[in-house]
């Protein structure tokens, strides 16, 4: 035992000396190449003196990086995430300038902008050298990964022998998109898990399928096919009264948004009150990069705790510190960040030159937002998951948002999105490899919260947004560009017919009282219209009395699939074109405008109708299965989700075959709450009883 310890010490010292030597050579080369970086005095020094200066400078830089950098990263946690990548370069360059000042000869100097370049190159070279030396050393590899974990892992007891479970959410990746990526050999890790010939690399003959280790199961979302509703249901067992990504609550006179920290915290609290337990991860769990905590003790980059004061119980940004405390990681991620910004600018410019359709604007801050989602968030979350596995945690749930962000703006089946899927597959392979070094066995479950449906935006097709159409249908003033569109003219004609009197053109009509102006919100291809001056959910009869042309205008518009409104006579009705009006309790016999949306649409609509905060008018865009399952987003997205129609409502669940089947023969997996029960059952299968599942939401509500 003692001999082995000494061998590890000698090996570590040898690697450190090698990295130091390579850093010294790198500094000498840079001093010869860069005009504003020198390691000798103006009178000239001997080669030995210059080499000694480089060695001392490289050593001082390495020590400062190891000792000072973690403290700087703690301060960086106060900086907005998008600025973090740029500050990494400047602070790393500052450390190099300090290191050169510490060299006894005092002859070394570097211009500030040159110091940034030299520091970045030296950190990258040192990182690459250290990684190359540790490739064949499992202990060194394990130690490097441990540095990415939370510092407190050292206080944890040895890991149990029962398997842990890692849940990786690939945000926005639909079931069919995943299968297509496997078929195109974009995701060899997933292909191997499924036993496909592509990427398997095993079997009785080259290219022969391997025995599958995982099963792929589609599931169906609720009407609100978006991360807020899905992840709340998956992690906390209830997404009751979450009708969309954003909606207006009349009781509190507030617009709720799922990715607003204060609102996410409130939604989590409501779910816990409804279910009676903390969530999926309450038993030694970790939540990484999610909207909600799932009841985990260990939380990093979790939105629902982002507004609290930081403390031991609140580590919403601890993942940044755990990752960026290693300067090599910081530089590597920062370089990848800049490369991703350049990649997005190039891809969007190419799409513009080729006049690709559909297309949305991708300028402004979007290249930086994309780079953060596809590089920074991915690297930090994956590193946190690796740390959790090496610490032996029982359950980990992490969300990787890269694909969803890119698919919104480039399209769910675009080459841009395919490249993101390739990188996500490499992240899965890394997590799988780390499991071999973990103190307990791990089972990896990969799932998505929704898919994405393609299609141009409502505005680009018809020349006006949903809000413009609603205002026109209410007889309210609309922008001139909307007045000139065919849809705007039709809406104004409908108002004239309904009121049986002319409405002045040219914007001279009398503005009605402000109390009658509706709030129009969008969640992908789902629109929500609320009248804030009415304290209750309005009925069809009340809406018709106030705005006689509104419902007819919306229902007959070619970009609208159907409407849901409350009815004094029927309780709730679905409205469609040409006067279609089907009560909710008759949808099974006569689906009316819901028929095209497929099985389960009627149940999803009826469930949303039961929500206290359903909007006065719920609007689902048109859906065309014959045109690749296209929908019309009410937001500026060419890959959208949030309503009914197409791939957005068909995510996947990729689970190890050692777990019981997610659903029985002939049974569909429907709704995020159902997925929660399946995941909790799997945790019981791995580790015995967890937090009691409790009664079904309907039973608790009763």
pLDDT higher than threshold 60 for residue 698: no
User: 597 and 626 share a domain?
Assistant: yes
| Alpha-carbon span 288 to 436, nearest angstrom | 21
- Name the residue with higher pLDDT: 437 or 116: 437
- Candidate ranges 92-106, 160-174, 356-370, 680-694; pick with highest mean pLDDT: 160-174
Q: Is the pLDDT of residue 351 over 60?
A: yes
- Of 399, 348, 355, 398, which Cα lies nearest the Cα of 370? 348
Mean pLDDT of 510-520: 65
Answer for the pair 485, 463: CB distance below 8 angstroms, yes or no.
Answer: yes
Instruction: Say whether pLDDT at 140 is over 60.
Output: no
Q: Beta strand 254-257 with 623-624: parallel, antiparallel or unpaired?
A: unpaired
Is the per-residue pLDDT at 491 higher than 70?
A: no
* pLDDT score at 4: 47
Q: What is the largest CA-CA distance in the chain?
A: 98
Q: Evaluate whether residue 649 is within a structural domain.
A: no
- Per residue in 163-180, pLDDT tens? 999 999 999 999 999 999
Q: By three-state DSSP, how is residue 605 classified?
A: helix
Average pLDDT of the segment spanning 537-558: 94
Split at pLDDT 50, 70, 90, the class of 319 is low
- Dihedral of CA 331/16/20/62: which sign? positive
Q: Supply the pLDDT for residue 141.
A: 40
pLDDT value for 152: 41
Give the integer Cα–Cα distance in Å for 325 and 318: 11
Whether residue 442 has pLDDT greater than 90: yes
Average pLDDT over residues 379-390: 88
Give dist(CA 350, CA 354) in Å, integer. Answer: 6
Query: CB atoms < 10 A from the CB of 377, how many?
Result: 21
What the block records as the tokens of 632 is: 């019309």
Reading the block at residue 663, the tokens are 């659903």
Question: What band does 617 get if pLDDT is binned at 50, 70 and 90?
Answer: very high
| End position of a domain, from candidates 620, 637, 654 | 637
User: Does the residue 147 lie in any domain?
Assistant: no
pLDDT score for 505: 42
Determine the structural domain holding residue 198 and report its residue range: 163-202+210-455+667-701
Are 546 and 516 in contact, with CB atoms under 8 Å apart? Answer: yes
Report whether the peptide linkage leading into residue 358 is cis, meaning its omega lies within 30 degrees of zero: yes
> Closest Cα partner for 444 from 168, 660, 662, 199?
168
Write down the mean pLDDT value for the chain.
Answer: 80
Domain limit, last residue, from 133, 148, 180: 133
pLDDT classification of 130: cutoffs 50, 70, 90? low
Q: Can you tell me the mean pLDDT for 278-305?
A: 91
pLDDT at 300: 83
Instruction: Tell whether 279 and 363 lie within a shared domain.
Output: yes
> CA 249, 250, 254, 257: dihedral to nearest 10 degrees?
10
Q: Which of 30-34, 211-215, 374-378 has the lowest mean pLDDT?
A: 30-34
Same domain? 632 vs 554: yes
Residue 484, pLDDT > 60, answer no
User: What contacts 374, CB < 8 A, 6 or more positions away?
Assistant: 340, 402, 405, 406, 420, 423
Tell me, what's the pLDDT at 695?
41
Whether 252 shows a pLDDT value over 70: the answer reads yes
pLDDT for res 51: 72
Which of the four pLDDT bands, split at 50, 70 and 90, describes residue 147?
low
* Residue 260 sits in the same domain as residue 379: yes
The answer to whether 596 and 622 have CB atoms below 8 angstroms apart is no
Q: How confident is the model at residue 478 (pLDDT cuts 50, 70, 90)?
A: confident
Q: What integer is the mean pLDDT of 359-364?
A: 86
Domain identity same for 449 and 462: no
Beta strands in 611-682 (DSSP E): 617-621, 623-624, 630-631, 639-640, 652-656
Q: What is the share, in percent, of the chain residues with pLDDT greater than 90?
A: 50
- Which residue, 596, 619, 637, sits at the end of a domain? 637
Token pair recorded at residue 359: 């297309």
pTM: predicted TM-score of the whole model, two decimal places: 0.77
Q: Which two tokens stand for residue 282?
A: 């309450």
Total domains in the fold of the chain: 3
DSSP-assigned letter for residue 372: I
pLDDT at residue number 700: 39
Task: Specify whether the CB–CB gap between 281 and 679 falls below 8 A.
Answer: no
The mean pLDDT value for 423-445 works out to 91
Given this model, what pLDDT does residue 200 score?
Answer: 44
Least confident of 149-163, 173-187, 271-285, 294-308: 149-163
Residue 510 within a domain: yes
Q: How confident is the model at residue 612 (pLDDT cuts 50, 70, 90)?
A: very high
Pair (335, 442) in one structural domain: yes
pLDDT of residue 391: 85
pLDDT of residue 310 exceeding 80, the answer is no
Residues with Cβ < 8 Å from 694, sequence gap 6 or more?
237, 275, 276, 277, 700
Tell me if 438 is assigned to some domain.
yes
Clarify whether residues 422 and 489 are in a common domain. Answer: no
Poorest-confidence range of 73-87, 349-363, 672-686? 73-87
Tokens encoding 322: 């755990």
Residues 595 and 484 placed together within one structural domain of the fold: yes
Checking if the pLDDT of 583 tops 70, the result is yes
Judged by DSSP in three states, 582 sits in strand
What integer pLDDT is reported at residue 109 of this predicted model? 60
Question: What is the spatial distance between Cα 226 and Cα 172, in angstroms, rounded to a whole number?
Answer: 8
Confidence of residue 114 (pLDDT cuts 50, 70, 90): low
Sheet containing 581-583: order of strands: 519-523, 526-530, 617-621, 560-567, 571-575, 581-583
Return the pLDDT at 53: 72
Average of per-residue pLDDT across 379-384: 89
Q: Is residue 105 part of a domain?
A: yes
Residue scoring higher pLDDT (144 or 573): 573
DSSP state of 518: P
Same domain, 451 and 462: no
- 395-400 and 298-300 strand pairing: unpaired
Please check whether residue 570 is in contact with residue 618, taking contact to mean a CB–CB distance below 8 angstroms.
Answer: no
Residue 275 lies inside a defined structural domain of this protein: yes
Q: For position 667, what pLDDT does the model report? A: 84
pLDDT at 663: 87
Question: Residue 399 has what pLDDT?
Answer: 96
Task: For residues 472 and 593, state if they share a domain.
Answer: yes
Q: Are residues 561 and 686 in the same domain?
A: no
More confident residue, 628 or 260: 260
Q: What is the DSSP string of 141-198?
A: HHHHHHTTS-GGGGGSPPPPSSPEEEEEEETT--HHHHHHHHHTTS-HHHHHHTT-ST
Q: What percent of the chain has pLDDT over 70?
A: 66
Mean pLDDT within 325-340: 75
Alpha helices in 188-246 (DSSP H): 188-193, 227-236
Question: Where is average pLDDT lowest: 143-152, 384-393, 422-431?
Answer: 143-152
Return the pLDDT at 476. 85
| Residue keyed to tokens 């040409």 | 578
657 lies in a domain? Answer: no
Report pLDDT for 112.
64
Task: Inform me whether the pLDDT recorded for 251 exceeds 50.
Answer: yes
What is the 8-class DSSP label of residue 635?
A: S
Reply yes or no on whether the pLDDT at 110 is more than 70.
Answer: no
Q: At what angle do helices 672-687 and 227-236 cross, to 10 degrees?
A: 30
Nearest residue to 378 via CA among 303, 471, 301: 301
Asked if residues 620 and 561 have their Cβ atoms less than 8 Å apart, the reply is yes
pLDDT at 623: 94
Residue 156 lies in a domain: no
At 224, the pLDDT band (50, 70, 90 cuts) reads: very high
pLDDT in tens, 528-542: 999 999 999 999 999
Among 678, 659, 660, which residue's Cα sits nearest to residue 669?
678
CB 177 within 8 A of CB 159: no
pLDDT the model gives residue 548: 92
Contact (Cβ atoms closer than 8 angstroms) between residue 515 and residue 506: no
- The torsion defined by the Cα of 106, 108, 113 and 117, in degrees rounded to 10, comes to -130
Q: Are residues 462 and 493 in the same domain?
A: yes
26 three-class SS: helix
* 622 three-state secondary structure: coil
Q: Is the pLDDT of residue 151 over 50?
A: no
């Amino acid at each position: 035992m003692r001999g082995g310890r000494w061998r590890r010490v000698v090996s570590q010292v040898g690697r450190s000396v090698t990295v130091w030597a390579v850093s010294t050579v790198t500094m000498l080369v840079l001093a010869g190449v860069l005009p504003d970086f020198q390691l000798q005095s103006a009178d000239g020094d001997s080669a030995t003196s210059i080499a000694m200066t480089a060695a001392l400078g490289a050593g001082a830089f390495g020590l400062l990086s190891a000792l000072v950098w973690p403290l700087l990263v703690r301060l960086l946690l106060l900086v907005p995430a998008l600025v973090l990548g740029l500050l990494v370069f400047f602070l790393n360059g500052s450390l190099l300038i300090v290191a050169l000042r510490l060299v006894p000869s005092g002859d070394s100097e570097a211009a500030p902008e040159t110091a940034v370049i030299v520091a970045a190159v030296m950190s990258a070279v040192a990182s690459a050298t250290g990684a190359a030396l540790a490739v064949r050393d499992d202990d060194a590899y394990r130690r490097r990964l441990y540095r990415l974990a939370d510092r407190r892992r050292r206080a944890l007891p040895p890991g149990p022998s029962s398997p842990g479970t890692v849940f990786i959410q690939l945000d926005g990746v639909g079931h069919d998109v995943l299968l297509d990526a496997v078929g195109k050999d974009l995701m060899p890790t997933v292909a191997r898990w499924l036993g496909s010939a592509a990427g398997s690399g095993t079997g009785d003959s080259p290219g022969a399928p391997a025995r599958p280790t995982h099963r792929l199961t589609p599931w169906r979302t609720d009407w609100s096919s978006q991360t807020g509703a899905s992840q709340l249901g998956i992690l906390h067992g209830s997404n009751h009264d979450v009708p969309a990504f954003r909606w207006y609550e009349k009781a509190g006179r507030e617009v709720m948004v799922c990715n607003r920290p204060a609102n996410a915290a409130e939604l989590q609290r409501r779910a816990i009150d409804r279910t009676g337990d903390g969530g999926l991860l309450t038993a030694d769990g970790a939540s990484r990069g999610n909207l909600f905590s799932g009841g985990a003790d260990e939380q990093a980059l979790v939105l629902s705790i982002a507004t609290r004061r930081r403390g031991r119980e609140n580590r919403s940004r601890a993942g940044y510190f755990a990752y960026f405390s290693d300067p090599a990681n910081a530089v590597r991620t920062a370089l990848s960040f800049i490369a991703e910004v350049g990649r997005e600018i190039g891809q969007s410019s190419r799409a513009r030159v080729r006049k690709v359709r559909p297309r949305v604007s991708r300028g402004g801050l979007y290249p930086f937002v994309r780079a953060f989602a596809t590089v920074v968030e991915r690297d930090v979350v994956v590193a946190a998951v690796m740390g959790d596995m090496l610490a032996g945690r029982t359950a980990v749930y992490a969300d990787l948002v890269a694909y969803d962000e890119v698919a919104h703006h480039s399209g769910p089946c675009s080459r841009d999105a395919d490249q993101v899927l390739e990188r996500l597959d490499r992240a899965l392979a890394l997590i799988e490899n780390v499991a071999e070094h973990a103190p307990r066995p791990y089972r990896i479950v990969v799932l998505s919260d929704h898919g994405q449906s393609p299609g141009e935006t409502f505005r680009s097709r018809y020349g006006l947004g949903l809000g413009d159409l609603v205002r026109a249908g209410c007889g309210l003033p609309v922008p001139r560009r909307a007045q000139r569109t065919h849809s705007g003219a039709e809406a104004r004609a409908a108002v004239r017919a309904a009121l049986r009197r002319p409405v002045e053109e040219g914007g001279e009509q009398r503005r009605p009282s402000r109390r009658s102006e509706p709030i129009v919100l969008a969640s992908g291809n789902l629109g929500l219209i609320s009248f804030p001056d009415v304290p209750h959910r309005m009925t069809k009869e009340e809406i018709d009395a106030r705005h006689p042309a509104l419902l007819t205008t919306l229902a007959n518009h070619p970009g609208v699939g159907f409407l849901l409104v409350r009815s004094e006579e029927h309780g709730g009705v679905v409205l469609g074109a040409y006067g279609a009006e089907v009560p909710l309790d008759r949808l099974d016999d006569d689906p009316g405008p819901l028929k095209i949306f497929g099985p389960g649409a009627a149940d999803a609509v009826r469930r949303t109708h039961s929500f206290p905060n359903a909007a006065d008018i719920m609007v689902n865009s048109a859906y065309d299965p014959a045109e690749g399952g296209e929908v019309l987003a009410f937001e500026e997205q060419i890959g959208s989700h949030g309503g009914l129609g197409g791939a957005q409502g068909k995510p996947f669940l990729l689970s190890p075959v050692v777990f019981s089947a997610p659903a029985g023969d002939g049974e569909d997996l429907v709704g995020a709450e159902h997925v929660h029960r399946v995941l909790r059952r799997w945790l019981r299968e791995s580790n015995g009883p967890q937090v009691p599942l409790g009664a079904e939401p309907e039973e608790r509500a009763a």
